[in-house]
């Protein structure tokens, strides 16, 4: 029988979780109920008590109550619930995880969910599911269901929504894994202006027997890619498009997470890296571009995306930052430099062609890269098939050597 773990604050959501567990069992799954609340009397129906959760976080419920700070309590019980959930998964007692809540409850249960591997079913019914969900979902496969009404009692509306959620997570937990041919998984980073390069490289690598997962570099795309690397799914990385570093440095809307271009190196897996789209910072529509950038070179990519050309000073900073990240790699690492243009619109005659900025980028890389980092400079632009095939073939050689 599949097991679904229900994590929640039973001090405030006891009736709602009782109904959720009832519906889960009606769908033929076993339930492990984890209590992460701290107020009032303990819930005897919990399979994992709130004291156990607090201990897993290195504290006690009494200490948290004495502090009288809800934020501190939620943070501590989030850590404890995460430890409990990971232990249950390691013991083979978690085939899916579910939760209910407002902002605090959603934060707590999704923190635990984000510790689990991609592919483990995860579902939360939440009052915040129709807003900005990035803080809750992060870079993993969490399903969020909007609660419509507050998670406050079981009524004609909430009963239907919680019932649907129970049916969904029970189905996910019991569903057999699809029979898919197992091939070595590679990750590739792509943006619209590097699509031809990644497409050619992907096709070549697929000819060689790999399966290539492509990630759109929108901030969360890079984070998702590297989360799969961290989880051990990925054999090698074709990091053509490192553009998220621009938004992180300058303040665009697709900013990289702090460890971008470091995870594969830390894991010791082969990586081939390039400078795709380091010529641009991303904003929304033209009216969202900050006033301080209005006199910069701007390009309307579409009505919802405005691009800003990175300056020579910014490119020098990007080169230094990328070099520092690659220098820390513990596995095979190669950098491919397209001297003829780093994006589709940065070649001669295109709106973001800037020889001075390119020289600053290339010069900073040459100055700061350690001797152990393999460098290939090609007299082509990033989307030239010759460049794409050179990257793909080098990654294959690295993987074969291992």
CB 46 within 8 A of CB 70: no
| pLDDT single digits (tens) 52-85 | 999 999 999 999 999 988 889 999 999 999 999 9
Mean of the per-residue pLDDT values for the chain?
95
Sheet order of strands, 3-8 included: 30-35, 3-8, 96-101, 122-126, 143-146
pLDDT of residue 140: 87
Q: How far is CA 134 from CA 99, 171, 220, 247, in A?
A: 17, 25, 8, 17
- At residue 72, the pLDDT reads 92
Mean pLDDT across the stretch 186-194?
96
In this predicted model, what pLDDT tens digit does every residue of 312-341 receive, in sequence order?
999 999 999 999 999 999 999 999 999 999
Per cent of the chain over pLDDT 90 is 88
Section 117-122 average pLDDT: 92
Q: Which two three-digit tokens encode residue 50?
A: 């709130």
At 38, list the tokens: 């701290």
Reduce the DSSP state of residue 270 to 3 states and report it. coil
Residue that has been written with the tokens 């943006």 in this structure: 191
Provide the pairing of β-strand 280-283 with 305-309.
Answer: antiparallel
Which of these, 90, 175, 106, 93, lies nearest to 138 by C-alpha position?
106
Q: What is the largest CA-CA distance in the chain?
A: 72
Angle at which helices 355-368 and 312-327 pack, to 10 degrees? 30
Q: DSSP for 173-232, please give it.
A: HHSPPP------EEEEEE-GGGHHHHHHHHHHHHHTT-EEEEEE-SSHHHHHHHHHHHTT
3: Cβ contacts below 8 Å, ≥ 6 apart: 29, 30, 31, 32, 93, 94, 95, 96, 173
Confidence at residue 45, expressed as pLDDT on a 0 to 100 scale: 95
pLDDT value at position 180?
Answer: 65
| Of 294, 307, 300, 270, nearest in space to 397 by CA | 270
Q: Name all domains of the chain by residue range, CATH numbers in brackets.
A: 3-174 (3.40.50.12020), 185-401 (3.40.50.12030)
What is the mean predicted confidence (pLDDT) over 267-294? 96
Q: What is the pLDDT of residues 208-234, one digit of tens each?
A: 999 999 999 998 899 999 989 988 899
Q: What whole-number distance in Å separates Cα of residue 387 and Cα of residue 380?
A: 7
Q: What digits encode the pLDDT tens for the residues 9-40?
A: 999 999 999 999 999 999 999 999 999 999 98
Tokens found for residue 151: 């998670």
Question: What does the pLDDT look like over 158-169, one tens digit per residue?
Answer: 999 999 999 999
Q: What is the mean pLDDT of residues 349-364?
A: 97
Prediction pTM value: 0.78
- Are 390 and 376 a contacting pair, CB within 8 Å? yes
C-alpha–C-alpha distance, residues 360 and 368, integer Å: 12
pLDDT digits (tens, 9 = 90+) for 259-273: 999 999 999 999 999
pLDDT at residue 138 tops 90: no
Residue 323: half-sphere exposure toward Cβ, Cα within 13 Å: 19
């Amino acid at each position: 029988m599949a097991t679904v773990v229900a994590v929640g604050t039973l001090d405030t959501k006891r009736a709602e979780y009782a109904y959720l567990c009832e519906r889960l069992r009606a769908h033929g799954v076993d339930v492990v109920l984890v209590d992460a609340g701290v107020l009032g009397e303990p819930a005897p129906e919990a399979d994992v008590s709130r004291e156990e959760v607090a201990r897993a976080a290195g504290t006690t419920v009494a200490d948290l109550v004495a502090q009288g700070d809800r934020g501190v309590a939620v943070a501590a019980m989030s850590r404890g619930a995460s430890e409990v959930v990971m232990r249950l998964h390691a013991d083979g007692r978690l085939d899916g995880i579910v939760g209910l809540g407002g902002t605090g409850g959603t934060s707590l249960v999704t923190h635990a969910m984000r510790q689990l591997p991609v592919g483990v079913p995860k579902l939360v019914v939440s009052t915040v599911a129709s807003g900005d969900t990035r803080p809750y979902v992060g870079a993993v496969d969490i399903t969020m269901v909007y609660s419509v009404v507050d998670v406050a009692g079981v009524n004609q509306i909430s009963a239907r929504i919680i019932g649907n959620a129970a049916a969904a997570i029970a189905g996910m937990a019991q569903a057999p894994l699809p029979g898919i041919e197992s091939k070595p998984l590679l990750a590739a980073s792509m943006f619209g202006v590097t699509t031809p390069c990644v497409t050619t490289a992907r096709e070549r690598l697929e000819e060689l027997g790999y399966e290539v997962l492509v990630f759109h570099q929108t901030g969360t795309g890079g984070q998702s890619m590297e989360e799969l690397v961290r989880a051990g799914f990925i054999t090698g990385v074709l990091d053509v498009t490192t553009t998220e570093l621009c938004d992180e440095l300058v303040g665009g809307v697709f900013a990289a997470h702090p460890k971008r271009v470091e995870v594969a190196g830390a894991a010791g897996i082969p990586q081939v890296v390039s400078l795709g789209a380091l010529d641009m910072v991303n904003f929304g529509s033209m009216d969202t571009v900050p006033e301080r950038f209005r006199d910069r070179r701007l390009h309307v990519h579409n009505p919802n995306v405005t691009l800003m050309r990175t300056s020579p000073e910014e490119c020098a900073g990007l080169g230094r930052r990328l070099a520092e990240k690659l220098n820390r790699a513990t596995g095979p690492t190669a950098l491919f430099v397209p001297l003829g243009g780093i994006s589709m619109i940065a070649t001669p005659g295109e709106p973001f062609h800037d020889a001075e900025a390119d020289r600053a980028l290339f010069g900073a890389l040459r100055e700061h890269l350690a001797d152990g980092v393999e460098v290939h400079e090609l007299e082509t632009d990033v989307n030239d098939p010759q460049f794409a095939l050179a990257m793909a073939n080098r990654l294959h050689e690295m993987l074969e050597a291992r």
